[in-house]
Amino acid sequence: MFKELQKYLKKFGLETSESTTSMILGALVVILVATMVYGYFKNQQSVSNPVIPPPVEETTDGELTPPTNTETIIANSPITISNYTVVTGDCLWTIAERAYGNPYKWVDIAAANNLADPNLIHPGNVFSIPR
């Protein structure tokens, strides 16, 4: 690799020693890693508060229509209603955290809804949120 880079640099009239070639390759590696780390953290910030579109309702004739309440559901917004419909990505822990501000109260939600397996919930399930 060093020899190939040195040959390439010689084409542009740059004579380099092995240590200079090593420095150039090292700088390229540092720039590449820094770019990857920046991209990773930039993407993490954009998914930390995803906006989940509202579910689609089916009419009696089989057509799909948007729901009457067209507000989007923000995944980190507090739950203030007494019945909550599970959306993709929910678990009892996050539902309890949003409803009560205390994720350990997931047990109260599981008990109020007589859940046999609290780890098994699906989008579309409607849970009562005891207050």
pLDDT of residue 30: 94
Instruction: Quote the pTM value.
Output: 0.44
What does the DSSP 8-state code read for residue 118? T
pLDDT at position 114 over 90: yes
- Ordered DSSP codes for 64-90: EE--S--PPEETTSPP-SSEEE--TT-
Cα distance between residue 12 and residue 78, in whole Å = 62
Which burial class, exposed, middle or buried, applies to 99 when counting CB atoms under 10 A from its CB (0-12, 13-18, 19+)? buried
Mean pLDDT of 37-52: 65
List the alpha helices (DSSP H) in the chain. Answer: 2-11, 18-47, 92-100, 106-112
Question: How would residue 57 be classed by pLDDT, with cut points 50, 70 and 90?
Answer: low
pLDDT at position 108 over 80: yes
pLDDT of residue 69: 47
